[in-house]
Structure 1
C-alpha cells in the first residue's frame, strides 16, 4: 500500500506532528521558566541532566513493558499522563514561582516520554510494509520538523507576551489532542512472539551480538555526551551573550527545524547511494562542525543557520540508525532492543548536559561549543574504523 493512502499511518503522522509541537513547547518553555525565575544556566543544566537520568532509569523496564502490553494503549496512556503533569505547572504557579515542582514534574515527564518513544519506534513497523520503513521514518521526521518550526516560534511569542508558564499550559493541551488521535489508529497484528522472559538484558545481548549495532551504540554514547546540553547552551548564548528576547529564541529553534525538513526526504536516496555507515558518519560530522561554530557566531542569523545544519545532521543520522534498527530487529524484541539502545547511549547524557552548561557559565559558550564540536567530529570519524563502514544491503 502506498504510504499516502495508508490511513492509519497518516493519522499517526498527523497526531505526532502535533505531539512534537507540544514537546517543543516544554523543551523551550521550561528552560525559559527557570531562567526567568532564577537567572541560572546551571539550574537549566541540572534540570536537563535530571531529565536525562530519569529517561535512563526508565529505559531499564520500558522495552519489556512495550513488548508485553498493547502498544497503542500505552501510547495513549503516556500522552494523557503527560497532559496531567504539565497542566499542574500553570495551576501551581498561580501561587507564585515553585521551582521545586519542576524537579518533580520534568523527570516524570521525561520517564513517560521515554516509554512513549520506545513504543513509537516499535509501532512504526506495524503501520507500514517492511520496505517502507526508511521512507516512513523520513516522513515522520519531516512532519515532526514542520511541527518543530511552529512550536518554538509560537512558544517564543507566547512566552514573551504571557510568560513561559502559559506556554507549558498549551503543551498540556497538545498531549490531550494527540491521545485522542491515537485512539483512531489500528495496528497490524504482530506475529506470535517466542516464549521468553528476558528484559533489558535481552535487548542488550542483541545489540552486542550485532556488529553494526554494537559500534553504533558505543559511538552514540559519546556523541550524546557531547551534545545533550546544546539547547540550554544555545538559549543561554542568545539571552546572555547576544541580549536577545524570548521570541528570538523561539525563532532560532524554529529555523533549526528546517534542517530536519531538508534532510528527511533525502535520507533514503543518500543511504542507497553511499551506504549506512558513510551516511551516518557524514551526517554526524556535519553536526559536530555546526555545533563548534554556534558559540562563535555573533548574530542571530548565523546562529540560526548553524543550528539548522546541526539539526540536518542529527536528523539524517537519526533516521538512518532508527530505520536500520527496525529492519534488523525481530518485532517481539524491538521494544527491548530500542530501550537498551537508548539506555546505553544516554548513560552519559546527564553528565554531559551538566558539564556543558557548567563550562558555559565558567569559560563561556564559545569555548565549550568549540571543544564539544571537535569531540563530535572525532567520534563521528571513528565510525570509519568500525563494521559500520562495510557495505550493507540497501534499505
Structure 2
C-alpha cells in the first residue's frame, strides 16, 4: 500500500530524521547566503565581489560533482553526511569569529560549498535505501516541500536576527543549524557501501570516472540528463529576465519585480505539497515530461503576457512544473541505477545541471541585452519545449528496453 508524505513521516523514524536534517541544513544554507552577501556588500562595496561569492558557491561544487558523488558511494553514507555537516559548521564558525578579508572568505566559502555538495548526493541516495520504492515519490515530494520551505524561510529568519546579533551572530546560528543536522543524522541506521568492492581498492578518481561513464552509457539516464540540462540551459535566465520584464516591459517598480520572482517559489511550494499527497499514483516518466513541458511552456507564455498579474500566474504554474521535474528525477534514478552507483549518478547529474544554469546566465544575459525580456522568454520557452518533445519521444522507448 502506497502512502503520502505525511503518513510516511509519522511511521518511519529514520526518514523523519533525514527529513528534519535536510530541512535544517537547507535553512542554514539560506541563512549563510544572506549573511555573507550583506557582509561582502558592506565591506567590499562592489557588485563584482557579491558575484564572486555566488560564483564560488555554485561553480566549485559543480566542477567537483564527479568526486562528490564518488565519496558517497565509497563510504558509509550516514558517516559522509555527518562529516559534511560538521565541516560546514566548523567553517561557518571560523568565518563568523574571524570575518576574514574577501580572498580568504572566498576560499572558505568554496570549501564549505564543496562539503555541502558532497552531502547532497549522499542524502538523495539515502532516501532510496531508507524508504521502500513504492513510497519514494512521496518521500522526495515531502523533502522538496521542506527544503524549499527552509530556503524561503532563511532570509526571513536572517532579517529577524540581524538587528539582534548582527552578521557574526547570524553566521554562528547557521553553524548551530549544521551541528543540529549532524545530531539528527546520528539517529539513522548505518548506510554502508552496497557492494564489498566499494571502499577498498581503486582510487577515488577511478570511481568518479566510472560514475561519469554510467551516466553516459545507460540510454535512459543519458536522455534524462541531457533533457534536464537542456531545459535548464534554456530556462535558467528566468529570474534575471523577470526583473527586466517587470521594470522595462511593464514599466512597474521593484515591488512588481518581487511579486514576479515570488511566483515560482509559490508554485514550487504548492507543487511539492500536492505531490507529497498524490505522486505515488503518478507515472514518474510522464510526471518528468509534464514537468519539463510546464516549466518551458510557462516561460514561453510569459513572453506573451500583457500584465504583471498574467506573468505572475504563469510563473506560479511554472513552479508546479519545476517541482514535478525534481520529484520525478529523484524517484526515477534509483530505479535505473544500482545502489553502488547512485551517489555518483546523483552528483554528476546535479553538477551538470548547475553548469547548465551557469551557461544560461551567461547566454541568456547576452540575449536579454541584445533583444528584450519578452523575446528572451519566448526563445527560452521554445527551446525548452523542443527539448521536452525530444525527451517525450525517446525516453519511453529507452525505459522499455532497460526494464
TM-score (norm 2): 0.78
CA drift at 1:340 = 2.9
Distance 1:370 1:318 in 2: 23
Q: Which residue is equivalent to 1:264?
A: 275
State whether structure 2 residue 298 is matched by structure 1 residue 290. yes
Measured against aligned partners, the alpha-carbon deviations of 1:278-330 in whole angstroms (never above 9, x if no partner) come to 32121122112334566887988766655443332122111111211112211
SS at match of 1:116: helix
Per mean C-alpha deviation after superposition, the further-off stretch among 175-184 and 51-60 is 51-60
Deviation at 1:70, TM superposition (A): 1.9
Query: Structure 2 residue aligned with 1:203, among 199, 211, 214?
Result: 211
Matched with 2:140 is 137
Q: 1:389 to 1:157 in 2, by over 3 A?
A: farther
The answer to whether the aligner puts 1:175 opposite 2:175 as a matched pair is no
The counterpart of 1:218, out of the listed 204, 209, 226, is 226
Whether 2:129 is the aligned partner of 1:126: answer yes
Counterpart for residue 91 of structure 2 = 85
Q: Relative to structure 1, is the Cα distance of residues 293 and 27 closer, same or farther in structure 2, using a 3 angstrom cutoff?
A: farther
Q: Is 1:154 the equivalent of 2:157?
A: yes
For 2:369 and 2:165, the matched residues in 1 are separated by: 28
Q: CA 1:78/1:194 → structure 2, altered by over 3 Å: closer, same or farther?
A: closer
Q: In the alignment, what sits opposite 1:116?
A: 119
Question: What is the rounded CA distance, in whole Å, between the counterparts of 2:374 and 2:97 in structure 1?
Answer: 38
Q: Confirm whether residue 68 of structure 1 aligns to residue 74 of structure 2.
A: yes
1:15 aligns with 2:21: yes
Residues 44 and 264 of structure 1: CA distance in aligned 2, closer, same or farther (over 3 Å): farther
CA–CA distance in 2 between the matches of 1:20 and 1:233? Answer: 26
Work out the CA distance in 2 between the residues paired with 1:251 and 1:321. 24
Distance 1:35 1:12 in 2: 35
Change (3 A) 1:145 1:67: same
Aligned equivalents of 2:105, 2:66: Cα separation in 1 = 23
5+ residue gaps in structure 2?
A: 2-6
**Offset of residue 374 of structure 1:** 3.1
SS in 2 for 1:215: helix
Give the superposition deviation at 1:138. Answer: 2.1
- Distance between the aligned counterparts of 1:102 and 1:236, measured in 2? 31
Deviations 1:79-115 (A, max 9, x none): 122223334455455x8xx554553344323212211
Distance in 1 of aligned mates of 2:64 and 2:256: 35
For residues 260 and 150 of structure 1, the distance between their equivalents in structure 2, rounded to whole angstroms, comes to 17
Structure 2 distance, partners of 1:101, 1:299, is 45
Deviation, 1:119, is 0.8
Equivalents in 2 of 1:17, 1:108: separation in Å? Answer: 21
CA distance in 1, matches of 2:190, 2:65: 23
The aligned runs of 1:1-395 (5 Å cut-off) are 3=8, 4-27=10-33, 38=45, 40=47, 47-93=53-99, 98-101=101-104, 103-155=106-158, 167-187=170-190, 191-194=194-197, 197=202, 198-228=206-236, 230=238, 242-244=253-255, 255-265=266-276, 266-271=278-283, 276-292=284-300, 305-357=313-365, 367-388=375-396
**TM-score, reference length from structure 1:** 0.79
Give unmatched runs, 5+ long, in structure 1.
none
